[in-house]
Amino acid sequence: MSRKTVEELEQALGEPSEFIITHDNRNLVIQWAILKGHSPVQIHSMRNVELANLYHEKDLTDKVTVEQALAADIFVKMINAFQIASIDPEMIRSLIKQEIENQPPKKLEIITPSGNVILEGVIHYRTELILKIVSLNHPVMMVGPAGCGKTSIGEKVAQALQLPFFVTSTINDTHELTGFVDGYGKYHTTPFRQAFEHGGIWIADEIDAWDASALLAANSALANGFSTFPDVSQPIFKHQNFRMIATANTFGSGASRVYVGRNELDAASLDRFAVVDVEYDLTLEQQFSRGNDRWLNYVWKTRKSVEEKKIRHVVSSRAIINGAIALEAGVSWKDVEEIYLFKGMSETDRKKINNKD
């Protein structure tokens, strides 16, 4: 029996809008879905209605796995041409996936004011701009929704500039910034101290949720170029390779955004920073979705609806990454959406969301 290509299967299955699943064509939809890059484990466990829905959403699923599907198609054509009937399309698919995953990471050479640097691997679209501003030695503040990749951008920038990377999360007390001397006279250092004294990229995470006096202390250290610490009597001067990147989390994006933190940032703090809006990187998210277009589009629709209805809920890239992994491992759709997407959203808010086609 010769194996069918995606085009042949789609011809046999007909128009998606008119498609009705039957005992006879179930197998063809399964073959089609696998060639389109869906997980065989997941597909085989789907009920008829779910398979039919998958085919109804055909146009949505056409985007991400195009490369894989094309490659799989070529293989299937070759197999037909050489009549190698014993090769299983599932095996071909997993070989192609492996091949794509084994590709060496992409390299991008960026010209910065302090010389050319190389960015490697999976890169958020904002990384290049932030790298350039950091190289100018200007403090940057990334403003954007939770889980859109801010910390990862900081990490990539540190890697590219070959600087150590330090993160300080939400601060409730100035001691968490400057460190403290305990009852035995031992000094406990902090990421800020290490970066400030010895150089490095320092991420001040979620500064809109920081204690106001800690923010003031960080600001004055930046402005004056020195800071006092409890273990030394003399101020310590800022290392020439100290770079600060702050982040502020928001619900929503653009003009409709609302800071997550309890403090609106005051003008003096904002004035010190180059403020860069960071949004979810949809191309990165496509890569995170492991070819599961159905999940990707479902999360995107949910996010759009959450933003439109101004619901204070985070639909981050993590929902896409972790949900896709769980689905691939065979966790049911219902559990995955509950665990990674809606996570404790109230019934009232749930009802407002329109994520159906």
Ligand X SMILES: Nc1ncnc2c1ncn2[C@@H]1O[C@H](COP(=O)(O)OP(=O)(O)OP(=O)(O)O)[C@@H](O)[C@H]1O
List residues near ligand X by CB under 6 A: 122-124, 146-152, 249, 284, 317-318, 321
Q: Minimum CB separation from ligand X for residue 316, in Å?
A: 6
* Least distance to Mg ion, CB of residue 318, Å: 10
Indicate the residue among 148 and 265 with the shorter CB distance to ligand X: 148
- The distance of closest approach from Cβ of residue 317 to ligand X in the complex, given in angstroms and rounded to an integer, is 4
- Three-state SS at 38: coil
Could you tell which of Mg ion, ligand X, none binds residue 124, using a CB distance below 5 to 8 A set by kind?
Answer: ligand X
Residue 238 or 243 with smaller CB distance to Mg ion: 243
Report how many residues bind Mg ion under the rule CB under 5 A.
1
User: Which 132-161 positions form the footprint of Mg ion (CB under 5 A)?
Assistant: 151
Q: Is 112 in the site for Mg ion (CB under 5 A)?
A: no
Residues forming beta bridges with residue 142, ordered by sequence position: 247, 276
Which of Mg ion, ligand X, none does residue 146 bind (CB under 5 to 8 Å by kind)? ligand X
Closer by beta carbon to Mg ion, 36 or else 303 = 303
Query: What are the φ/ψ torsions at residue 144 (nearest 5 degrees)?
Result: 180, 170
Q: Which does 46 bind (CB under 5 to 8 A by kind): ligand X, Mg ion, none?
A: none
DSSP character string of 206-265: TGGGS-HHHHHHHHHHHHHSEE--TT-SS-EEPPTTEEEEEEEEEES-GGG-EESSSSPP
The answer to whether residues 248 and 206 touch, using CB atoms and an 8 Å cutoff, is yes
- Residue 200: contacted member of Mg ion, ligand X, none (CB under 5 to 8 Å, by partner type): none
Q: Which is nearer to Mg ion, 151 or 263 (CB)?
A: 151
Beta-carbon contacts of 337 under 8 Å, excluding residues fewer than 6 positions away, are 298, 323
Strand pairing partners for 24? none
Cα distance between residue 110 and residue 38, in whole Å: 36
In whole angstroms, the minimum distance from the beta carbon of 259 to Mg ion comes to 15
Residue 20 Cβ vs ligand X, minimum distance, rounded to whole Å: 39
> CA 77 → CA 34, 39, 83, 223, 276, distances in Å?
16, 21, 9, 65, 48
State the minimum distance, in angstroms, from the CB of residue 29 to Mg ion: 40
- CA pair distance 170, 207, nearest whole angstrom: 7
Residue 80 or 151 with smaller CB distance to Mg ion: 151
The entry of ligand X, Mg ion, none near residue 148 (CB within 5 to 8 angstroms by kind) is: ligand X
Concatenated DSSP letters of 109-121:
EEEETTEEEEEES
Residue 305 binds which entry of ligand X, Mg ion, none, CB below 5-8 Å type-dependent:
none
Helix axis angle for 26-35 and 6-13, nearest 10°, is 150
- Least distance (Å) between residue 294 CB and ligand X: 20
* CB closer to Mg ion out of 42 and 127: 127
C-beta closer to ligand X: residue 29 or 321: 321
Could you please report the per-residue DSSP string of 127-156? HHHHHHHHHTT--EEEEEETTSSHHHHHHH
Judged by beta carbon distances under 5 to 8 A according to partner kind, the member of Mg ion, ligand X, none in contact with residue 149 is: ligand X
Q: Which residues bind Mg ion (CB under 5 A)?
A: 151
